[in-house]
Amino acid sequence: MHALQDLIFVSLTVVCFVALLGFVRALVRI
Amino acid sequence: MWLPWIEFAVVLLVMALLVIPMGQWLARCFTSEHHTWLERWTYGALGVNPQERMTWQRYGSSLLLSNAMMMLLGYLVLRLQGGLPLNPLDIAAQSPDLAFNTAASFITNTNWQAYAGESSLSNATQMAAITFLMFAGATTGVAAAAGFVRGLARSSSQDLGNYWVDYVRVLWRVLLPLSLVVALFYVWQGIPQTLQADTVVSTLEGSRQQLMVGPVASLESIKHLGTNGGGFFSMNAAHPFENPTPLTNVVHILSMLLIPSALTYAFGAMLLRRRQGWVLFGACLVMFVGFLSLVFVAEQRGSDLLARAGADQQWSPLQSGGNMEGKELRFGIADTALFVTTTTAATTGSVNAMHDSLTPLGSITPLAQMMLNSVFGGDGVGLINLIQYAILTVFLAGMMIGRTPEFLGKKIEVREIKLVMLSVLAHPAIMLGFTALAVLWPDTAASLNNRGPHGFSEILYAYASATANNGSAFAGLNANTPFFNTTIGLAMIAGRFLTLLPLLAVAGSLAAKATVPAGPGTFPTATPLFMGLLVFVVLVVGGLTFLPALALGPVIEHLQMLLGQLYA
């Protein structure tokens, strides 16, 4: 159970930071 | 009765006296051409090229990637705690949602704690996850300020400097040496610094009591210098091992204000516009004194309900009087009010009293300062947030007189204003959006200690604290649930980076512009008039944005309290 939750929260962290990198790219176009 | 005001004046005077030497130290750190052998060794170990000149995108991406890696490392340590050494009490690992919340909290310089440190973290974790991330988060903020100010100082350039050089220098030259000195002072004052996990003592009644100890002094020093705020113990700076003497209380306060206030001077020194730096310092000081007065007067006046309950609220040389609920007798009203104001101005989050027990009017001070997020602010980001408002101020002033706004010799145009507004709006959108979600969430009521407007304040405070990367808790809200751990974790990450990145883009945009000489139509920004306008803009924008939420919480609670209505 905890292994699945670990996967979820590690993935969530990675997704957050990848989205933030995308945000940087989006800001360039403003 | 004048004694508290004299104490406030003396503490603020000492802070102001420290601004110049600390500001010069920071400016030298940001502008030095020389790399020490320790720094060269660190660049080699990290595999980075210190000569690389970074655009704002590269600077921001490096910041994000380093923070992501350190957050994942922190998560790993928290989850593997049970198998790590220095855990003689066999404390189990944090649950995944709590570990996510804790790692997000400490890497974003928030230090929100949904756990009690002494019962859920081993000494290894306190050092390898908590203290490590405290250094990482604070260093990131100051390094970001270095790149941001450099961008404002440059002309016709794409270059904000080198993130890794700024990061390594801030760590080696500023935070580590300062933390060492302050930690030794704390040890002298009686704060424990040991690898032992606990000790058993005989009490005055003759019984045996287990006391938790550990590397507290080293954590306390970076906790305040780094505007972090997470406590070794759940009682934070109200615990006698974290804050044993009046002197440690004052040093905590000065440590929190040291770097945020000095950065205004460093900003002026780097731009060769020292008066501009003092204007920013003055604007912060005016707001600080205003909010300090509000919480001090509100707490000293206390409440008629306390009087009816038989509490003696009269000040005398032997007692503080006022509303002493949730406060330490040894700190009284004055030292509590000063601590409350400082910890939320500098977005530290360390507490020496229970903010939940402040009077409704008194609780507006911490809430409002987290909402404005620019009254000195956290290490590095506070200065950046204030300059964001300064740009907004010249824009509004420019619109009023029909001229193109200029700031620091650069024309402020559509792109900069779009980016500034993105940052200005992201802050309330995250805070109020998550608050609205939590209010609607079916399980939230079970986490609240109070109903009505006080319960709303408990939720609002949690997300204000998370979004502003403050970390202090109002108390009264059980936030250690999967919903709160996840949403507060996301609020901390979004609150940190969705405001910081657009402002780094502003710095990049301004760096690329040519500096224009001041003309007769230029609005001077290094004057007391601009300082007043800046304070006005911060308060009006903040007021228009957050007053409805405050009205649903502390304002209505205050009015109800006058009618004798309580929300238990």
Say if B512 is an interface residue toward chain A (CB within 8 Å).
Answer: no
pLDDT in tens, B243-263: 999 999 999 999 999 999 999
Specify the pLDDT at position B519.
Answer: 83
What distance in Å separates the CA atoms of residue B454 and residue B436, rounded to the nearest whole number?
15
Q: Which residues contact B440 (CB under 8 A, 6 or more apart)?
A: none
Contact B122, B81 (CB under 8 A): yes
Angle between the B381-401 and B528-550 helix axes, to the nearest 10 degrees?
110
Tokens of B435: 């608050």
Amino acid (one-letter) located at B273: R
Q: At residue B317, does pLDDT exceed 90? A: no
Amino acid (one-letter) located at B261: S
Amino acid (one-letter) located at B341: T
Mean pLDDT of chain B, nearest integer? 95
CA distance A11 to chain B (A): 10
Q: Which helix (H) or strand (E) holds B201?
A: strand B198-202
pLDDT bin (cut points 50, 70, 90) of residue B1 is confident
Specify the pLDDT at position B567.
Answer: 79
Q: At residue A1, does pLDDT exceed 80? A: no
- Mutate which of A4, A7, A8, A13 to test chain B, going by most B C-beta atoms within 10 A? A13
pLDDT in tens, B261-279: 999 999 999 999 999 999 9
Alpha helices (H) in B469-527, listed in sequence order: 482-511
Which one, of B22, B227, B247, B205, lies nearest residue B106 by Cα?
Answer: B227
CB contact under 8 A, B505 and A25: no
- Domain chopping of chain B, boundaries: 22-273
What is residue B494's three-state secondary structure?
Answer: helix
Nearest-by-CA chain A residue for B94: A2
pTM: 0.96
What is residue B208's three-state secondary structure?
Answer: strand
Specify the pLDDT at position B273.
Answer: 95
Alpha-carbon Rg for chain B, nearest whole angstrom, is 23
Chain B stretch 62-81, residues whose beta carbon is closer than 8 A to a beta carbon of chain A? 64-65, 67-68, 71-72, 75, 79
Specify the pLDDT at position B64.
Answer: 98
Contact A13, B68 (CB under 8 A): yes
Range B520-537 average pLDDT? 93
Alpha helices (H) in B468-481, listed in sequence order: none
| ipTM of model over 0.95 | yes
Q: At residue B361, does pLDDT exceed 80? A: yes
What distance in Å separates the CA atoms of residue B455 and residue B453, rounded to the nearest whole number?
5
> Which of A2, A13, A28 is opposite residue B100, by nearest beta carbon?
A13
- Mutate which of B59, B76, B79, B425 to test chain A, going by most A C-beta atoms within 10 A? B79
Length of chain B: 568
Name B211's bridge partners: B199
Q: At residue B521, does pLDDT exceed 90? A: no
Specify the pLDDT at position B566.
Answer: 80
Q: Which residues contact B268 (CB under 8 A, 6 or more apart)?
A: B23, B274, B275, B276, B277, B278, B280
Contact B139, B170 (CB under 8 A): yes
Contact A17, B68 (CB under 8 A): yes
Range B437-451 average pLDDT? 94
Q: At residue B408, does pLDDT exceed 90? A: yes
DSSP class of residue B175 equals I
Amino acid (one-letter) located at B540: V
Say if B413 is an interface residue toward chain A (CB within 8 Å).
Answer: no
For residue B15, with 0-12 CB atoms within 10 Å meaning exposed, 13-18 middle and 19 or more buried, which class applies?
buried
What distance in Å separates the CA atoms of residue B367 and residue B350, rounded to the nearest whole number?
14
Per-residue 3-state assignment (H helix, E strand, C coil) for B399-451: HHHCCCCEECCEECCHHHHHHHHHHHHHHHHHHHHHHHHHHHCCCHHHHECCC
Specify the pLDDT at position B318.
Answer: 87
Contact B481, B443 (CB under 8 A): yes
B131-140, B404-413, B494-503: which range is least confident on average?
B404-413
Contact B219, B124 (CB under 8 A): no
Alpha-carbon Rg for chain A, nearest whole angstrom, is 13
pLDDT bin (cut points 50, 70, 90) of residue B181 is very high
What distance in Å separates the CA atoms of residue B36 and residue A20, rounded to the nearest whole number?
33
Q: Which residues contact B197 (CB under 8 A, 6 or more apart)?
A: B86, B87, B88, B89, B122, B123, B212, B213, B214
Percentage of chain B surpassing pLDDT 90?
91
B238-242, B294-298, B318-322: which range is least confident on average?
B318-322
DSSP class of residue B519 equals -
Tokens of B309: 């309950």
Range B190-198 average pLDDT? 95
Tokens of B15: 């802070």
What distance in Å separates the CA atoms of residue B312 and residue B324, rounded to the nearest whole number?
10
pLDDT bin (cut points 50, 70, 90) of residue B326 is very high
What distance in Å separates the CA atoms of residue B348 and residue B238, rounded to the nearest whole number?
15
Chain A stretch 1-30, residues whose beta carbon is closer than 8 A to a beta carbon of chain B? 2, 5-6, 8-10, 12-14, 16-17, 20-21, 23-25, 27-28, 30
Measured between beta carbons, which residues in chain A are less than 8 angstroms from residue B97? 5, 9
